[in-house]
Amino acid sequence: MKMIEDLISDILKGAFMRCNYDSVYGKVTLSNRPDLCQFQCNGCLRAAKEYHKSPQVIAEEVMTQLGDVSCFKKLEYVKPGFINISVDDGLILEYINDMANDISFGCEKRGTGTTIVIDYGGANVAKPLHIGHLRPAIIGESIKRIGKFLGYTVLGDVHLGDWGLQIGLIITEMKRRFPDLVYFDSNYEGEYPKEPPFNISELEEIYPMASNISKSDSEYLKEAKKNTYLFQKGHKGYIALWKHILNVSIDDLKKNYDMLNVHFDLWKKESDVQGYIPDIIEDLKNKGVAYISDGALVVDVKKDTDKKEMPPCILVKSDGATLYGTTDLATIYERNKSYDPNEIIYIVDKRQELYFEQIFRCARKSNLVSEGTKLTYLGFGTMNGKDGKPFKTRDGNVMRLENLINELIKIVYDRVKEYDISTKEAKEISRKVGLAALKYGDLSNQLSKDYIFDIERFTSFEGNTGPYILYTVVRIKSILEKYYRIEGDLNDKDVSIISPTGESERKLMLKLTLFNQIVTNSFIEYAPNKICQYIYELSNEFNKFYNNNKIITEKNIKKQRSWIKLIILVKDILVNGLDLLGIEVPDRM
Ligand code: ARG
């Protein structure tokens, strides 16, 4: 369906044209003074400059032209040059009845035929997910869902870190602890034992330990680097050990992401693209794009217009090792080859901004990606504690994601356990509400901004929070249940939403009409926070409407049925909006 702003813009544009003015001036937007009008047109001011007339004269001519158009309730000129507009209820009613009868609530499938790869999550094998992995997972999942809803073919890829020094560190530590393990023999050819020599808890303990030792013990670090090198060159025993690490880790990561309701379409790994690297390097050398500088192979990515320093992109270090960036370049190449995407979006901490600028430039210069493929980096801000510093545990350590989630769930559980429900149900409700608090608290901020993680505020059932919106949905569900119990099922396909009887009802209806516009813009601008804001405002409008009207006891059947259909639509839009954020709704709360 056409967006409501465009629908009304078209009418005004026609009038501007009939008055011999450029139609662009007829653009209408939602009013920023909802107390005065629903929409506004600000074009007369700019038209006045072009046509050397007063804005008022232009506005009056245009409004006269609109005199015959029946869909306006109010057209009014206000200084210094606005036309305030309110539309006839009929227009809004037709719009929301059409929305109610459409499975996508009026959202156009604008993405049909367009493929997007989203690189998000950023997990590494052998390391537990920590709080730093929360934002990319939540944001990426939401952008992926919005894209899919709008008809794009979206491939979410976790792009697992399984290739760097972390593997060498684990090998080194394993060797120190269990020197007799068969894997340390470079000629290891034996059976690949089904049972891994460690479980996930041991693995997660081994890595931080190794990483710590390497910080103060240079010999240990040297050994880890050597082991990384041997592993990357194909040491058979190390590779067997690494396969165990992958199996144990990936199972655990999948479990954790599942719990977060975050689901990847692709579980590709850094190791998957290593095979492409030698050819890419050869090619770039031959083309003269890459050259040797201080023993390293680099690509210049500076531009004359650069205001800040733009170091060259290093492909191979002087010791022969390739880097994180080399892998990213090969990944771009592989994605381009396998999926021919129109866009690749990276959702990574904003501290990696310069790095991605280098990589993108290098990929372009090296023709690793088709010209038409857009490369987008979305850098997100840091989640801070109340002290304004990156969120830590009480003892100053980086918090494990699992622990944070469990803490949130517990807060909700302590409230919910008082209800007259089974423990199982209380747990399920707490999980959904706790995650909603977390995700909404995160997504409601502008993506690139740092924000303060405030557990009390996020879990509150009031205010601009996830639980408040869930509560609104649950409230609507219970009104509907009550209605069905008394009146029996309503086949809402046979019912239409009819004219509002009060202002709060009208405002609620108007808010509903904005859904397709909000969802579309939130995708174009990579801004899930727009959906948060929208469903919050929609919840507020619903709650005002609900307080002003007695739905269940209403005697006028036609009116009552219209209300039921209206609140079904509100519920569906809220549930859909929440789903686009990756948030699930409990049956009760
Ligand atoms: N695994 C990386 C890290 O822990 C993040 C990966 C981001 N994606 C990418 N294509 N580089 O920092």
CATH of the domain at 53: 3.30.1360.70
pLDDT in tens, 500-527: 999 999 999 999 999 999 999 999 999 9
For residue 124, the ligand 1 atom closest to its alpha carbon is 1
Residue 70 above 80 pLDDT? no
**pTM (predicted TM-score):** 0.95
Centre of ligand 1 to C-alpha 521, Å, is 27
Region 539-547: mean pLDDT is 98
- Does 68 have pLDDT greater than 80? no
- The two tokens of residue 437 are 């608090």
- d(Cα 439, Cα 443) in Å, to the nearest integer? 6
For ligand 1, atom 11, the nearest C-alpha belongs to 328
- Whether residue 169 sits in one domain with residue 81: no
Closest CA to 452 of 405, 382, 402, 527: 382
- Spatial distance between the Cα atoms of 427 and 434, rounded to a whole number of angstroms: 10
Tens digits of residue pLDDT in 101-131: 999 999 999 999 999 999 999 899 988 888 8
- Ligand 1 test: best mutation among 134, 268, 270, 352, most atoms within 8 Å of CB? 352
Mean pLDDT calculated for residue range 232-254: 91
Total structural domains within the chain:
3
pLDDT score for 465: 98
CB-CB neighbours of 99 under 10 Å: 21
Is 122 a pocket residue for ligand 1 (Cβ < 6 Å)?
yes
48 pLDDT exceeds 70?
yes
Return the structure tokens found at 189. 């050819």
Host domain of residue 203: 165-259
Interface pTM (ipTM) of the complex? 0.98
239 is a domain residue: yes
Nearest CA to ligand 1 atom 10: 328
In a domain, residue 274? The reply is: no
Cβ(551)–Cβ(483) below 8 Å: yes
What are the pLDDT digits (tens) for 456-465? 999 999 999 9
| Bond into 80 cis (ω within 30) | yes
Q: What is the CATH number of the domain that holds 527?
A: 1.10.730.10
Tell which of 87, 114, 134 closes a domain: 87
Mean pLDDT, residues 333-350:
97
Flag whether pLDDT at 69 surpasses 80: no
Alpha helices in 288-352 (DSSP H): 324-339
Query: Has residue 375 got a pLDDT over 80?
Result: yes
pLDDT at 540 over 80: yes
Interval 376-386 mean pLDDT: 94
Phi, psi of 537 (to 5 degrees): -65, -40
* pLDDT confidence band for 191 (50 / 70 / 90): low
Q: Where does residue 319 rank: exposed (0-12), middle (13-18), buried (19+ CB within 10 A)? A: exposed
Residue 421 tokens, joined: 């429900």
On whether residue 237 sits in a domain, the answer given is: yes
Place of tokens 């306006």: 72
- The tokens for 225 are 């680097």
Question: What gap in Å lies between CA 572 and CA 558, rounded to an integer?
Answer: 21
Note the pLDDT of residue 294. Answer: 93
Contacts of 224 (CB under 8 A, 6+ apart): 165, 168, 169, 171, 172, 210, 214
Q: What is the pLDDT of residue 386?
A: 87
- Whether the pLDDT of residue 190 is over 70: the answer is no
Whole-angstrom distance, CA of residue 253 vs CA of residue 161? 12
Residue that terminates a domain, selected from 61, 87, 113:
87
Give the model's pLDDT for residue 193.
63
Residue 316 lies in a domain: no
Same domain, 173 and 67: no
Please check whether residue 416 lies inside any domain of the structure: no
Q: Among 132, 138, 124, which Cα is nearest to 250's?
A: 124
**Which of 541, 587, 574, 588 shows the shortest CA–CA distance to 466?**
574
Taking all residues of the chain, what is their mean pLDDT, rounded to a whole number?
A: 94
Give the integer Cα–Cα distance in Å for 22 and 15. 10
76 with 171, same domain?
no
pLDDT at 192: 62
Average pLDDT over residues 562-569: 97
- Tell me which residue has tokens 């830590």: 392
171 is a domain residue = yes
Strands 451-452 and 383-384, sheet pairing: parallel
Listed residues 45, 63, 87: the one ending a domain: 87
**What whole-number distance in Å separates Cα of residue 541 and Cα of residue 573?**
13
Mind listing the pLDDT tens digit for each residue in 263-310?
999 999 999 999 999 999 999 999 999 999 999 999 999 999 999 999
Which of 348, 349, 378 should be mutated for ligand 1, with most atoms under 8 A from CB?
348
Atom of ligand 1 nearest to the CA of 348: 7
Same domain, 471 and 574: yes
Evaluate whether residue 16 is within a structural domain.
Answer: yes
Query: Nearest residue CA, atom 12 of ligand 1?
Result: 122
> pLDDT value at position 132?
87
Domain presence at residue 496: yes
